[in-house]
Structure 1
Amino acid sequence: MIEKKDIALEKAVLIGVITKDQDEVKSKEYLDELEFLTFTAGGYAIKRFTQKMDMPNPKTFIGTGKMEDVRQFIEENDVGTAIFDDELSAAQERNISKILNVKVLDRTNLILDIFAQRAQTSYARTQVELAQCEYLLPRLRGMWTHLERQKGGIGMRGPGETEIETDRRIVRDKIALLKARIKTIDKQMAVQRGNRGKMVRVALVGYTNVGKSTLMNVVSKSEVFAENKLFATLDTTVRKVVIQNLPFLLSDTVGFIRKLPTQLVDSFKSTLDEVREADLLLHVVDISHPNFEEHIESVNKILGEIKSGDKPTIMVFNKIDAYVAEPLEKDDLETERTAKHYSLEEWKSTWMSKVGNNALFISAINKSNLEDFKKRVYDEVRDIHVTRFPYNHFLYPDYNYEDMGK
């Protein structure tokens, strides 16, 4: 649980469902993550509500009885925000808002809000604004409920429809403008990438909050913003790194997350170009997180979506200093021993052993095993470099690689 340290945090309730595709354990994991997202956005979850059902209610996401429980709790505890773990349709959002009479957000809306807070550069702000507009467009109708347009009939025809259509046209025009702006910036960034010469490119990828920026700072001796919150990094940062006189480019990219909104994947595709154009991926994993295997799966899925799933990859298991196996008493014959009871050494002998030299175990914050990490990255970058510039290596073994890219 996240401790409440700031009385200014906005009170919220979290709502999720338990279905045949999302059991109780998985639902709790998602709500844990939703709570962290809420905290990152500036809120504080004071209660969670879950309901078992075959599938979410198409009108109100949860059933009427559970919705009444939520409404009463919100009213009695002066809660201003209700956050749902899955994306709500425009109709669901509209219906729920009428019942609860508070601000209603879904996971997508919450992530978009965090991105809007975190966007620092003009490019990132443009990408976030585009995602927000694309999310808003199908939901504009709900903003005109004071006209009760959905009822239709006598006395309900007239300017209301015109206002809705006018707003839709404004948002569509805005989307077109933002896409044009992004296209222009993309061309400029493509030129910048082209000007970097033939240097080997390495990209840090991984789930959000796994320590990519901290690792970037340690390896490149730079000051990339790092914080123990989700999506601390939005803008891709590229640094020139030199290991044993061999230079390469290292980029720190936006973190991935489960149930990542489609709008964000689409609008941030340009940022992810650094991943697409990389020669080598460093897939950073927070091994201290109880669901790190699921995180790996989520990242691999998104890498596949951006056609980068088959790139050479080194798995970097970070935060070994924070890894703690759940204890199991020797005389406990009832509890089944599972992965959560594994020591690090035992983990290394599981499927990780098949990864071989491409699995590294480090602590970026404590700089543990960093020399092994640098040596492994150096070997891989050198192999790529030898393939790209065989003449330099075979005829000039003492070639000064610092001259590359100048």
Structure 2
Amino acid sequence: MEHDTQVTRAWVLHPDITSAEQRREASFALEEAISLAAALPELEVVGSNVVRLSKAQPGKLFGSGKIEELKALFKANEVELVLIDGPVTPVQQRNLEKEWKVKLLDRTGLILEIFSDRARTREGVLQVEMAALSYQRTRLVRAWTHLERQRGGLGFVGGPGETQIEADRRAIDDQLVRLRRQLAKVVKTRELHRKARAKVPFPIVALVGYTNAGKSTLFNRVTGADVMAKDMLFATLDPTMRAVELPNNGPEVILSDTVGFISDLPTQLVAAFRATLEEVLAADLVLHVRDIAHPETEHQAEDVRSILETLGMSEETPQIEVWNKIDLLDADDREAVVARAEREEGIFAVSAVSGQGLDDMFAAIAKALASEKTREVLSLSFSEGKARAWLFKEGVVEAETQTDEGFEIEVLWSAKQRAQYQTL
């Protein structure tokens, strides 16, 4: 079918505003923005550049000379869509679209497009729709019509003639109320699933990290699962969970692979994906996977930490830092990184591709989970048969002695199992 192969010619601009408080290295920021665009198969990036500005112009973002220069550039390259790596106000968007005769998406719009393309579960789809509506509500311009695609994702935008949602705020608000109701039902179902999982005695180990850090590759290596692992930003959007026995006679755990984090993630999406990241909040151990070969690995790690903090992750949750992709470093750098990781507590230098360093990492996971267990002696009467049966089912009983009144049972259990026992 024709529409599947239709490609939109796009140009990526990164405005490097010198007066901005937090400036990222412009070349890396542009590279990431191009990767973002590449995550949508129907876009072809035909060019890109950094535009240095002392400050953003309120009406048109750029000065008139720069606007003219870029207009000529876009015309010569038959550009249909301009992606601006940063926030663009609705007024700036309308003015620039008029000047350049192209469609324009800012960073938030582009990330919403990617999320709509990738969301797989019912909850993921609903949450993206809600985030997109909140974003559109401030614009009321036909933000997505440049990609009239016949695919999943945002079914209510993009089709020809669908002007009602963009034209009428009340229609958007009604739609948001409907979506919230649907989402509440879906979240309830998830809670039931989570309660069922809480009864499973396996601890949850969550993989988190900046997008493209190699989490899915690591997940696949450990589980043998065929999770989409492409060199593409946001390859994973919905958490994938697998029960797996860690190698070398390690414990059985539930491994959870989550969406990659990114700097300047639109606030609507942090909120929208909070539930998707609930698995992280419920985890017994967090593996923070880093692309140690990336020039901005420190900044990326900082972004991940601050998002985890925003999500409200407990400081009590133990974390292991996994410095991935050491196979991409040259021999000297690799040696230095491995030596540094060995010196520091809770850090492991690995390659999910070659398998180097993984055995030590698995041993550390097993140790971290084992150290969370405590030994206790419980006195149960003969009438507490249900509680005794539960302890044996959970596999926490180390020794048992029968007394005149009942049983003395020595258990080795996690805090989670102890809490479950107290609710029996």
Q: TM-score range by the shorter chain?
A: 0.7 to 0.9
* Corresponding position of 2:386: none
Query: Is 1:357 aligned to 2:356, yes or no?
Result: no
Q: Output the CA distance in 1 between the equivalents of 2:207 and 2:74.
A: 42
Offset at 1:188? 1.2
For the pair 1:30 / 2:29, whether they are aligned, the reply is yes
**Which secondary structure does the structure 1 equivalent of 2:104 belong to?**
strand
Kindly provide the amino acid, as one letter, of the partner of residue 48 in structure 1.
S
Q: For 2:359 and 2:115, how far apart are their aligned partners in 1?
A: 34
Is contact 2:123-2:187 (8 Å) kept?
Answer: no
Kindly indicate whether residue 381 of structure 2 is the aligned counterpart of residue 378 of structure 1. no
Distance in 2 (CA, whole Å) between partners of 1:38 and 1:307 is 30
Matched, 1:185 2:175: no
The SS at the match of 2:138 is helix
Shift of 1:262: 1.0
Q: Distance in 2 between matches of 1:108 and 1:394?
A: 54
Task: Name which of structure 1's ranges 40-49 and 187-196 shifts more when overlaid on structure 2.
Answer: 40-49
Note the alpha carbon deviations across 1:299-356, whole angstroms, 9 max, x for none: 011011001162311000111111238xxxxxxxxxxxxxxxx723334566x577x2
- Choose which of 275, 279, 291 in structure 2 pairs with 1:286: 291
Task: With the length of structure 1 as denominator, give the TM-score of the two structures.
Answer: 0.81
Residue 216 of structure 1 corresponds to which residue in structure 2?
219
The 1:67–1:387 alpha-carbon spacing in structure 2 relative to 1, beyond 3 Å, is farther
Quick check: 1:209–1:231 contact (8 Å CA) kept in 2?
Answer: yes
Query: Paired residues, what number?
Result: 360
1:104-253 counterparts in 2 under 5 A? 104-140=104-140, 167-196=168-197, 197=199, 198-243=201-246, 244=249, 246-253=251-258
Closer, same or farther: CA 106–186 of 1 in aligned 2, 3 Å:
same
SS at match of 1:283: strand
Task: Classify 1:298/1:23 alpha carbon distance in 2 versus 1 (closer, same or farther; 3 Å).
Answer: closer
Within-5 A mapping of 1:66-85: 66-85=66-85
Once the 2 structures are TM-superposed, how far is the Cα of residue 25 of structure 1 from its aligned partner?
6.7
Find the counterpart in structure 1 of residue 154 from structure 2: none
Which residue matches 2:318? Answer: 312
Tell me the residue number matched to 1:345: 335
How far apart, in 2, do the equivalents of 1:122 and 1:165 lie? 23
Aligned 8 A contact 1:206 1:255 in 2: yes
Query: Helix, strand or coil: the match of 2:39?
Result: helix
Residue 148 of structure 1 is matched in structure 2 by none
- Contact 2:205/2:287 (CA < 8 Å) preserved in 1? yes
Q: What does 1:96-107 align with in structure 2 at a 5 Å threshold? A: 96-107=96-107
Query: What is the CA distance between 1:387 and its match in structure 2?
Result: 3.4
Kept in 1, the 8 Å contact 2:10–2:44? The answer is yes
> Contact conserved, 2:207 with 2:287, CA < 8 A, in 1?
yes
Q: For residues 254-289 of structure 1, what are the alpha-carbon distances to aligned partners after superposition, in whole Å with 9 as ceiling and x for unaligned?
A: 110111111111111110111111121100001111
Give the deviation of 1:85 after TM superposition.
Answer: 0.7
**Which residue number in structure 2 is paired with residue 328 of structure 1?**
none
1:316-335 matched pairs, under 5 angstroms = 316-324=322-330
| CA deviation string 1:65-84 (max 9, x = no partner) | 11111111111221111110
2:305 counterpart letter in structure 1: N
Q: Displacement of 1:56 after TM fit?
A: 1.3
2:345 counterpart SS class: helix
* Identity within the alignment, %: 34
Checking the alignment, whether the CA contact within 8 Å between 2:210 and 2:260 is kept in structure 1 is yes
The C-alpha deviation readout for 1:58-107, integer Å capped at 9, x for no partner, is 11111111111111111122111111010211111111111111110111
Report the Cα offset of residue 48 of structure 1.
2.6
Matched, 1:12 2:18: no
Moved more, 118-127 or 96-105: 118-127
Do the aligned partners of residues 109 and 12 (structure 1) sit closer, same or farther apart at CA in structure 2, a change above 3 Å counting?
A: same
* Structure 1 segments (4+ residues) deviating >4 Å: 22-25, 163-166, 388-391, 396-401
AA aligned opposite 2:185: T
Structure 1 residues 265, 23: CA separation in 2 closer, same or farther (over 3 Å shift)? Answer: closer
Displacement of 1:41 in angstroms is 1.4
- Identify the structure with bigger relative contact order (alpha carbons < 8 Å, sequence gap 6+): 1
CA displacement at 1:24 relative to structure 2: 8.2
Unpaired runs of 5+ residues, structure 1, are 1-6, 144-162, 326-341
Q: Secondary structure at the match of 2:168?
A: helix
Identify which of 258, 261, 266 aligns with 1:261: 266
Q: How does 1:43-58 map to 2 (within 5 A)?
A: 43-58=43-58
Distance 1:116 1:242 in 2: 33
SS of alignment partner, residue 74 of structure 1 = helix
Higher-strand-fraction structure: 2
Q: Distance in 2 between matches of 1:34 and 1:254?
A: 17
In structure 2, distance between residues paired with 1:78 and 1:387:
67
CA contact (8 A) 2:90 2:138 kept: yes
CA–CA distance in structure 2, aligned partners of residues 319 and 186 of structure 1: 36
| 1:59 alignment partner, SS class | coil
- For 2:392, the equivalent position in structure 1 comes to none
SS at match of 2:181: helix
Preserved contact between residue 287 and residue 319 of structure 2 (Cα < 8 Å)? yes
- What CA distance in whole angstroms lies between the structure 2 residues aligned with 1:371 and 1:353? 14
Report the AA paired with residue 300 of structure 1: R
- Displacement of 1:203 in angstroms is 0.6
